[in-house]
Structure 1
């Protein structure tokens, strides 16, 4: 399978934040932003793999600045690294005050996607070729994040094996 340049997966979209997109503090609903994040990241992963993809994990989402109604948010996503069947996608969200033009990086996060076939079985994905300084920075630290995710997933499995499921009808 031929490797692909990171920029081949670049996906960009903008959203106008309206009053009904905000919470009681007047800031963008985190959950609504996450819907846009997952969507743009899935597009980037699909562009890289040219296959169906499923979200495997969303790492910590770091909200650095609030986003207010009337702003525009620009979401940029690209595949930073790949393993056998999985891809790490980096998403950055830039807030733009539409009247002043001031732009701030307000949120970043990493997501992992798995490429699947029509039967839902994982399939191989191309390796990533980083080119820009930002791509090299993210690529160089990706394997460490991958290993941390793997450990966290095992810890979650261990933890959840001891949980009980609520049965409110009993």
Structure 2
């Protein structure tokens, strides 16, 4: 499989922030922003792999600035690193006040997507190579981020197995 440049997966999305998308403070719901991030990451990963993808992991999403009703939210996503069947996708979200033109990076995230074959089983993906300085910076830290994700996932499995499906701290709430 031939490697592809990071920029070949570049995906851009713009959306207005409308009243149903906002909380009681008039700012974009965090979950709505996370949905935008997941969607643009999935498109970038699909563009890279040319296969169906699913989300395997979302690294922390830090909300840096509020996104206000009436503003736009602009997202960019690129595949920054690949393993055998997985792809790390970097997403940058920018809020823009269209009248003043003021723009701020309001969130960044790393999403891990896994490519699936026609039987819904993980399948190999092409490698990726960075070209710009920013891509090289993201690529350089990707292996370490993957190690951290692997450890975090191990801990998540431990927690899931320890707690199960019931609420052990309150017998009355067991389902």
TM-score by length of 1: 0.97
Structure 1 residue 159: deviation in Å? 1.8
- Structure 2 unmatched runs, 5+: 168-172
Matches of 1:109 and 1:51, distance apart in 2:
22
Asked if 1:160 corresponds to 2:160, the answer is: yes
Change (3 A) 1:17 1:2: same
Matches of 2:44 and 2:152, distance apart in 1:
24
Query: Higher mean Cα deviation, 144-153 or 157-166?
Result: 157-166
Q: What SS class does the counterpart of residue 159 from structure 1 fall into?
A: helix
The corresponding residue for 1:143 is 143
Structure 1 residue 32: deviation in Å? 1.0
The corresponding residue for 1:31 is 31
The corresponding residue for 2:82 is 82
| Number of aligned positions between the proteins | 170
Superposed, 1:1-170 pairs within 5 Å as 1-166=1-166
Matches of 1:160 and 1:36, distance apart in 2:
27
- Structure 1 unmatched runs, 5+: none
TM-score by length of 2: 0.94
Structure 1 residue 169: deviation in Å? 7.3
